[in-house]
């Protein structure tokens, strides 16, 4: 460990303490816990994301509670398994709404599962805080739906900037997950690319459980693109880049930020080299919050954090900060989300929410490329 890193870590710690406000330094929290209800997948096809969330939540709570929790009360969460299934998210919503101990709800994972429960949370007056819900309609159900997930219109503008303006691609082939997320992303990207003077020559959707893309890629190749854009998650993204190279396509690949994960590198192997992506959370960022998070996470779990870990970690910190500044009742949290600003987090330098769209503001994407089996800053 270099001294400079240690200083950064200390700076991060000091900053965190300063933001803790009037709390006594390093006071252990005690008393009635402040309870957050989490609805997410612990079993079923999306179970891995629930596991990633837990790691992020636990790490954040450890720190928050070591610093005195919420005005001396420990912050805790209860995790209900929804299997990312709308039938179960609405049952869980009833449970949380009727439990007076729950002050805010977090989740669910997919927009489908989350939005099924949204009308209930809206009527029940409990904030539904979705941090993986990039669906443009997620926050539209009502004023109790808030999201720290980058909306897809924001994300796809970044992708189009990267692919068209930075890399100079003019004939782009898009491969996208044929889900609400992937299709929305594709549609917005097509428009944004057009605005920047590029053409989308092919767009192919695939289902999340598909593994074989050779025929699809042959079709893509026949459309004669000069670059590929992947609207994928990391596991299917890895399968794709391997097979892209196997069918002999040797063009630049730009992948949406959700491939940013160590697992993408191990699953894709050598084929990952040369893949462009963007990240809001990246270890190469010099910001002290990021470095402190990576250090703590690696020490706790013996592995490097990924994007989902970071988003979960941020979620707890943002909510804790809202509660500290504005109070812990359901209504105070809802009002607080609209007013809070300048919260530093791992993903964003300064978090605040647009009170109109109830979406996070203050993005600052980092452009990355895979080199020698690692994500590195892209310098053309």
Partner 1 sequence: MGSILSLPWFDFTVSGVVIGSIYALMAVGLALIFGVANLINFAHGAVFTVGAYVGWVCAVALGLPLWATVPLVALGGGLVGAGIEYIAIRPLNRQSRIAPLLATIGVGLILDQIVHILFGANPRALPVPMPGWRVSVGQGSIGPIDITIFVTAVIAAAALYAFLFRTRLGMAVRATAQDEDAAKQMGVNIHAVNMAVFAIAGALGAIAGLLVGIYYNAIDPNTSFQIMLKGMVAIVIGGMANVPGAIGGGVILGLIESYGIALFGASYRNLFAFAVLLLMLLVKPNGLFAKGREREAEPMTGTFVIQSMPVRPPGWLLALGVAAAALVPLAGQPYLTQVMTNAFLYALAAISLTLIAGTVGLVSIGHAALLAIGAYASALLTIAGLPVALGLVAAAAITALLGTALAYPAFRLRGHYVAIGTLAIGEIVSLVILNWTSLTNGSMGVFGIPPLTLFGVDFFSTNPSYWLVLGLVVVFALLQTRLLSSHLGRTWRAIREDTVAAETYGVGSNYYKGLAYGFAGFTAGLAGAVTAHQFSYINFDTFNLLTSVLILTIVILGGLGNVTGAIVAAVLVAGLPEMFRVLAEYRMLFYGAALLLLIRFRPRGLLGSG
Q: Which of residues 318-337 bind partner 1 (CB under 8 A)?
A: none
Q: Could you give the CA distance from residue 245 to residue 225 in angstroms, rounded to a whole number?
A: 15
Point out which span in 11-19, 68-76, 219-227, 334-342 binds partner 1 (CB under 8 A).
219-227
Query: Rule CB under 8 A: is residue 283 a binding residue for partner 1?
Result: no
Looking at 33, 205, 349, 362, which residue binds partner 1 (CB under 8 A)? 205
Count of residues of this chain found to bind partner 1 when the rule CB under 8 A is applied? 63
Point out which span in 56-64, 155-163, 175-183, 337-345 binds partner 1 (CB under 8 A).
175-183
Asked if residue 334 lies in contact with residue 345, where contact means CB atoms within 8 angstroms, the answer is no
Query: Rule CB under 8 A: is residue 6 a binding residue for partner 1?
Result: no
Looking at 65, 152, 216, 278, which residue binds partner 1 (CB under 8 A)? 216
CB within 8 A of 2, min separation 6: which ones? none
Query: Rule CB under 8 A: is residue 240 a binding residue for partner 1?
Result: no
* Maximum C-alpha span of the chain: 66
- Least spacing, CB of residue 42 vs partner 1, in Å: 5
Q: How many other C-beta atoms lie within 10 A of the C-beta of residue 247?
A: 14
Residue 7's Cβ-count burial label (10 Å; 0-12, 13-18, 19+) is exposed
State the DSSP code for 272. Answer: G
Query: Rule CB under 8 A: is residue 214 a binding residue for partner 1?
Result: yes
Looking at 109, 121, 144, 206, which residue binds partner 1 (CB under 8 A)? 206
Q: How far is CA 324 from CA 148, 178, 198, 221, 327, in A?
A: 18, 41, 47, 55, 6
Q: Which of residues 53-92 bind partner 1 (CB under 8 A)?
A: 80-81, 83, 86-87, 90-91
Please count the residues of the chain. Answer: 380
Query: Rule CB under 8 A: is residue 195 a binding residue for partner 1?
Result: no
Asked if residue 268 lies in contact with residue 241, where contact means CB atoms within 8 angstroms, the answer is yes
Query: Rule CB under 8 A: is residue 142 a binding residue for partner 1?
Result: no
Instruction: Note the helical H segments in 210-306.
Output: 214-222, 234-246, 262-268, 288-301
Q: Could you give the CA distance from residue 154 to residue 133 in angstroms, rounded to a whole number?
A: 13
43, containing H or E segment:
none
Asked if residue 135 lies in contact with residue 115, where contact means CB atoms within 8 angstroms, the answer is yes
Site pattern 96..125 for partner 1 (x: CB under 8 A): -xx-------------x--xx-xx---x--
Looking at 25, 100, 197, 211, which residue binds partner 1 (CB under 8 A)? 211
Nearer to partner 1, 19 or 91 (CB): 91
Residues lying near partner 1 in the complex (CB under 8 A) = 42-48, 51, 80-81, 83, 86-87, 90-91, 93-95, 97-98, 112, 115-116, 118-119, 123, 137, 141, 178-180, 182-184, 204-207, 209-219, 221-222, 235, 238-239, 242, 246-248, 263, 266-269
């Amino acid at each position: 460990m270099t001294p400079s890193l240690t200083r950064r870590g200390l700076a991060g710690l000091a900053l965190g303490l300063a933001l803790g406000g009037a709390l006594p330094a390093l006071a252990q929290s005690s008393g009635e816990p402040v309870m957050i209800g989490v609805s997410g997948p612990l079993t079923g096809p999306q179970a891995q994301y629930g596991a990633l969330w837990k790691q992020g939540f636990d790490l954040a709570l450890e720190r928050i509670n070591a610093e005195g929790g919420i005005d001396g009360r420990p912050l805790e969460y209860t995790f209900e398994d929804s299997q990312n299934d709308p039938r179960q998210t609405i049952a869980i919503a009833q449970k949380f709404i009727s439990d007076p101990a729950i002050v805010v709800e977090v989740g669910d994972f997919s927009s489908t599962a989350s939005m099924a429960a949204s009308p209930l949370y809206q009527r029940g007056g409990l904030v539904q805080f979705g941090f993986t819900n990039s669906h443009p309609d997620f926050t539209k159900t009502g004023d109790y739906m808030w999201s720290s997930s980058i909306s897809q219109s924001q994300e796809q503008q970044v992708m189009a900037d990267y692919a068209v303006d930075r890399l100079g691609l003019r004939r782009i082939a898009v491969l996208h997950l044929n889900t609400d997320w992937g299709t929305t992303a594709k549609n917005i990207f097509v428009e944004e690319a057009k605005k920047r003077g590029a053409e989308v020559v092919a767009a192919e959707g695939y289902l999340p459980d598909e593994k074989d893309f050779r025929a699809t890629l042959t079709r893509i190749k026949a459309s004669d693109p000069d670059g590929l854009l992947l609207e994928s998650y990391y596991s299917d993204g890895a399968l794709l880049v391997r097979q892209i190279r196997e069918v002999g396509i040797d063009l630049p690949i730009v992948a949406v930020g959700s491939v940013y994960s160590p697992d993408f590198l191990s699953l894709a192997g050598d084929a990952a080299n040369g893949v462009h992506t963007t990240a809001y959370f990246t270890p190469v960022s010099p910001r002290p919050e990021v470095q402190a998070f990576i250090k703590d996470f690696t020490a706790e779990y013996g592995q490097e954090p990924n994007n989902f870990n970071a988003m979960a970690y941020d979620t707890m910190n943002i909510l804790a900060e809202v509660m500290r500044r504005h109070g812990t009742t359901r209504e105070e949290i809802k009002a607080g989300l609209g007013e809070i600003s300048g919260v530093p987090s791992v993903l964003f330098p300064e978090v605040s929410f647009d009170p109109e769209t109830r979406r996070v503001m203050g993005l600052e994407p980092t452009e990355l490329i895979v080199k020698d089996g690692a994500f590195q800053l892209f310098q053309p």
